Amino acid sequence: MDAAGGLLNVIDVEATCWRGQPPSGAVSEIIEIGLTVVDLRAGERVGRHRLVVRPARSVVSDFCTELTGLTQTEVDQGVSFAQACRTLAAEHGAGTRPWASWGDYDRKQFVRQCRATGAGYPFGARHTNVKAVFTEAHGLRRRPGMAEALRVVGLPLEGRHHRGDDDAWNIAALALDLVGRGSWPVAQVV
């Protein structure tokens, strides 16, 4: 089933990060991609996936491990970023399905990293910023973080915050809440 069948890929990435500025020569790189497949018509999360990505130009800082739980040893066993992009396209229909993320960081990080590495951008053009849709649907003045948004609608935070697969799962729950309220972009619910 593809986009015409009502499937949506919800993506959340974790990237190398530091308290303050990165060390000289280091850049923020994706180290984990969480993906939850949502069946918009059925109103349910139907798949949960995780890709660990090996950074090429940075290392996992102690701060990053505290935040995400990811260690350098774990990401050293991951796939290359280019392979992760190929997997998203081949196994998860990333180029044909609409996709969503909480905010625009994830989309911009993929664009930046694909340009910097020459990896093929895995996604199509149909991206939904769930944070923006949520903020508008709830008449909020400022855009909340994902955990705060879950509290606003009375949903539990499942798993570990700042873990790609757990965050994608939670963002998918927020997207489904918006679908249930009739606030999701109609073009994606076919």
Residue 3 has pLDDT above 90, yes or no: no
Backbone angles phi, psi at 14, to 5 degrees: -115, 145
- For the chain, which residues make up each domain, given as ranges? 3-183
Q: Which H helix or E strand runs over 36?
A: strand 30-39
pLDDT at res. 5: 60
> Structure pTM?
0.94
How many other C-beta atoms are found inside a 10 Å radius of the C-beta of residue 142? 6
Q: Are 39 and 6 in contact, with CB atoms under 8 Å apart? A: yes
Confidence of residue 188 (pLDDT cuts 50, 70, 90): low
Our CA angle for 61, 163, 123, nearest 5°, is: 105
Q: Which H helix or E strand runs over 108?
A: helix 105-117
- The model's pLDDT over 21-73, given as tens digits with 9 standing for 90+, comes to 999 999 999 999 999 999 999 999 999 999 999 999 999 999 999 999 999 99
Residue 147 has pLDDT above 90, yes or no: yes
- The model's pLDDT over 76-133, given as tens digits with 9 standing for 90+, comes to 999 999 999 999 999 999 999 999 999 999 999 999 999 999 999 999 999 999 999 9
Beta pairing class for 99-101 and 127-129: parallel
pLDDT at res. 187: 60
Q: Which CATH number fits domain 3-183: 3.40.50.2300, 1.10.357.10, 3.50.50.60, 3.30.420.10?
A: 3.30.420.10
